[in-house]
């Protein structure tokens, strides 16, 4: 059973991203969107946790990065920047979606 985890809250304000990372198993995917995209910025404590998560694929929604002025070169290496159609595809590819609101 593969799961797509979604996070839409800032990791600096809420524990949603931390909890997601603690529960995401190998083979699952994590998509950051809305204020969740702040978790994708290089050089933070959350970035270290993402680097340490093995076997989990990370994605971040490009339009929400742009809205917040986070340039693509600020995104942690290994996190794939995706568009809305890819968001839908990820939801369809995985067996279920678990939202960390």
Q: How far is the CB of 1 from other proteins (least distance, A)?
A: 30
Nearest to other proteins of 29, 76 (CB atom): 76
Q: Which residues are near other proteins by CB under 8 A?
A: 8-10, 12-13, 34-35, 38, 41-45, 47, 62-64, 66-71, 74
Nearest to other proteins of 29, 65 (CB atom): 65
Nearest to other proteins of 12, 23 (CB atom): 12
Q: How far is the CB of 18 from other proteins (least distance, A)?
A: 14
Q: How far is the CB of 12 from other proteins (least distance, A)?
A: 5
Q: How far is the CB of 67 from other proteins (least distance, A)?
A: 4
SS3 for 74? helix
C-alpha distance across the termini of the chain, in Å: 21
């Amino acid at each position: 059973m593969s799961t797509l985890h979604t996070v839409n809250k800032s990791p600096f304000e809420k524990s949603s991203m931390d909890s997601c990372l603690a529960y995401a198993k190998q083979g699952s995917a994590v998509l950051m969107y809305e204020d969740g995209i702040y978790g994708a910025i290089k050089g933070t404590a959350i970035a270290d946790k993402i680097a340490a998560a093995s076997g989990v694929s990370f994605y971040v929604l490009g339009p929400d990065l742009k809205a917040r002025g986070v340039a693509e070169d600020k995104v942690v290496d290994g996190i794939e920047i995706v568009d809305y159609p890819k968001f839908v595809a990820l939801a369809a590819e995985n067996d279920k979606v678990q939202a960390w609101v």
